Amino acid sequence: MTASNETLLTGITNHDPRAIGRAISIVENNGEGAADILASLDQERINSVVVTGITGPPGAGKSTLTSGLITILRKTGKRVGIIAVDPSSPISGGAILGDRIRMMDHALDPDVVVRSMATRGRLGGLCASAGATVRIMAAAGCEVILIETVGVGQSEMDIVQLADITVMVLAPGFGDDIQAMKAGLLEVADFLVVNKSDQPGASGLLMDMEQIFAAKEEESGVARVLETVASENKGLVELLQSMDTFSDYLTATGQKEQRRNRALNAETLDWIIEMLRSRFLDAMNESSSQKDPRIRAKEFISKTLQINQ
């Protein structure tokens, strides 16, 4: 390991924001030394952190709710990491919306580590390096990490793979759209938050969600459907308390470890595909075959990786 990487790791351990940001950038760009940094992170801190994904359709109030949760967590002395995943610019590939706009209230707090990340075109809502960013933040002493996704609705299944706990935020006014959501992310979310619960239609939405989540609540013994008015900080303390109880339940039943293993496998597969992408693109550019894409794909795999199909 180089001296510069050792300095970065020391900075991460000592909560140095510049070292944390630099390490994340190196890993995000797959730069020199990325593997050394990731291999040397404090595994005990990584194991103990609680990663919560906050997702849901645009306009539901995810950012306001996330900001309110940060405020409460900081009052209890928790060091918090935030990953704000934004849509990618089609030109630069970078994030269009910035976390510094959405998290301005916490920008000067040294115990809030904020990182804005672009989806880089991934339909699932998370960029490939989000998992590594979580681990760096955990190694930097963050006890709770919140991942707020772009809000593309049904497509955001990636967050379920990465987060220990997934919170889906809805607001009244979605009407018949809720029927279409029942078969997707709604079924795999751990918590359903009806935000803007002071608005017309909130009580009906709450009743619908309680019916869907009844079996989950009975299994864990934890209230999994909650109502909030995030703009007024109403219901946020109760949400955090339920999440804490559920986190203990996941740990006690071994489900947290199972979820982490699935997340690790999914992230590993992502990186395998990412690392092989350029090789396959080169092979395709050199070929003039007009065969069916599925047939071509098998041929490229066999030829490039020397695997018998």
Q: What is the pLDDT of residues 206-234, one digit of tens each?
A: 988 888 888 888 888 999 999 999 999 99
DSSP SS3 for 287: coil
Q: What is the pLDDT of residue 236?
A: 98
Q: Give the residue-averaged pLDDT of 261-282.
A: 83
Q: Per residue in 59-106, pLDDT tens?
A: 889 989 999 999 999 999 999 999 987 654 434 444 444 444 556 678
Beta strand residue intervals within 208-301, DSSP E: 225-227
Q: What is the DSSP letter of 88?
A: B
pLDDT at 94: 44
Q: Do 187 and 224 touch, CB atoms closer than 8 A?
A: no
Nearest CA among 49, 53, 48 for reference residue 163: 53
Strands in 7-87 per DSSP E:
50-55, 80-86
Q: Would you say residue 266 has pLDDT above 80?
A: yes
Q: What does pLDDT average to over the chain? A: 83
For residue 93, which of 54, 113, 122, 114 has the smallest C-alpha distance?
A: 122
* Alpha-carbon gap, residue 251 to 288, rounded angstroms: 53
Give me the architecture of the 41-253 domain, per CATH.
3-Layer(aba) Sandwich (3.40)
